[in-house]
Amino acid sequence: MIPSTRATITAVAAALIAATGFLGPRYLAAGVLACIIATAIGWPHLMRVTRPWVTTGIVVGGGVLSLGAVALGRNEPYLRFMVVAVAAVTVASLAAEVFFPGRRGHAVTYVAATAGGGAVAASGAAWVAVSRTLGAEDLVVCGGVSLAIAAIATVSTSRAQLNTGLALGLGTGTGAALGYLFADLSWFSGGFIGMLCAVSAVLIQELYRREPRPRGWRSGIAAGVAPVLIAGALVYIGGRLLIG
């Protein structure tokens, strides 16, 4: 899958987060779940593991467990049970390699790939935690829109350094503009969130640029959606710093 297609997938997934976040936490949880499933299906092919269905099951399980803990939690901080989901994914990854071993000599690589996928999926639940935090609801829309624009900017020209500057500038500017429009945000808080989301898009795009191009549509979708899930944790941390 070519970089422009992958960036488009990132933009679409980010727009989905922004749209469902505008509708409310329940719709946002459904949007995040769709992103988790899309990532889980392609993650084994992206990481080249030999037991794809085992890895997919563990990644989906970790994401759903984390999402359920955040969505059903009654008191803040809503992410306090996400660490349990990440720990469960790590243990499940180790157990899977024991009962469903991969190629000899690649045990550590496969465990790390599966546990990493589970951590990425669990990070998506942070979007819902942001939406449920009093005073931070608009950060979801701000972050989703900024990430979508930054993702497109990462492939707007043939020069990587120029694309990085454009992505950071447009992401930050979009966030600042939305922060100015939303009554509960300031231009500074919106710009900060936009910058964090742009950083997520730029870093992941740069990592993929240095690796062999993912083969197949499933690995390409996972590569495109993963930055959106990761950005959820960045937006949550940024929201806690700005709003408390």
Q: Taking 80 as the threshold, does the pLDDT of residue 215 lie above it?
A: no
The structural domains of the chain, with segments of one domain joined by +, span: 3-242
The answer to pTM > 0.95 is no
- Please state, for a pLDDT cut of 70, what percent of the chain lies above it: 95
One-letter identity of residue 185: L
Q: Taking 70 as the threshold, does the pLDDT of residue 213 lie above it?
A: no
pLDDT tens for 121-168 read: 999 999 999 888 776 778 899 999 999 999 999 888 888 788 889 999
Which pLDDT value is given to residue 212? 65
pLDDT tens for 161-175 read: 888 899 999 999 999
**CA 170 – CA 166 distance, rounded (Å):** 6
pLDDT tens for 2-33 read: 778 888 999 999 999 999 998 888 899 999 99
